[in-house]
Amino acid sequence: AHLLPSPSTGDGDVVAALRTAARRAVSGGAPESAVRYLRRALAEPPAAPDQARVLVELGQAAAMSGDPAAVDHLRRAVEDLPDAPARAEALFDMGRTMVSRGRYREATEALEAGLDEVGPAPSELRLRLHAALVQATRLRDTRRPDLVDIAWMALAGSGAHGPDRSGPLSPPQRALHGEV
């Protein structure tokens, strides 16, 4: 907390300390505090390679705290992240945040962009993106049955409904069953 009012000097150790404090705040159930720490970390500012990661962390904490700027932080991060998997993960966070705010059309666009970033190879992230896309598509006012069909086929082909259904459902499976 003593770093919040201190002047910005571009010190990487300050950025690291604020990010650590933010992670602790989130795990302690205080995402509002995490948002303050991460905003201050951006003001330091972080080194160029870390800036996008700080924006992702800020977007996630802002989404948890109900801050309307969450999507903007995640959008800025997507523009700056250097690799496709990190951009896809940020687009997943952005899409889920938009769904929680009733912005279904925009969520669908973000999740489709995430699928483009992650590529066609099967992965847990691709499965989560598809499940979120099904949810966003089902909730939006103007339904696109083609998207729902594509997402359902992808989920079915991924083993999300494997032969043993006796165990607990994974998060994507719960989403498919409306248990989001």
Q: Convert the pLDDT of each residue in 65-102 to its tens digit.
A: 999 999 999 999 999 999 999 999 999 999 999 999 99
| Integer CA distances (angstroms), 160 to 46, 130, 153, 177, in order | 39, 11, 11, 11
Q: How confident is the model at residue 155 (pLDDT cuts 50, 70, 90)?
A: low
Long-range pairs, 31-35, Cβ under 8 A, ≥24:
31/61, 31/62, 31/64, 31/65, 32/65, 34/61, 34/64, 34/65, 35/61, 35/62, 35/65, 35/67
Q: Does position 41 have pLDDT exceeding 60, yes or no? A: yes
Q: pLDDT at position 166, please?
A: 47
Decide which of 147 and 112 is more confident: 112
Q: Does position 173 have pLDDT exceeding 70, yes or no? A: no
Q: How confident is the model at residue 2 (pLDDT cuts 50, 70, 90)?
A: confident
Q: pLDDT at position 1, please?
A: 77
Mean pLDDT of the chain: 85
Q: pLDDT at position 5, please?
A: 86
Decide which of 152 and 53 is more confident: 53
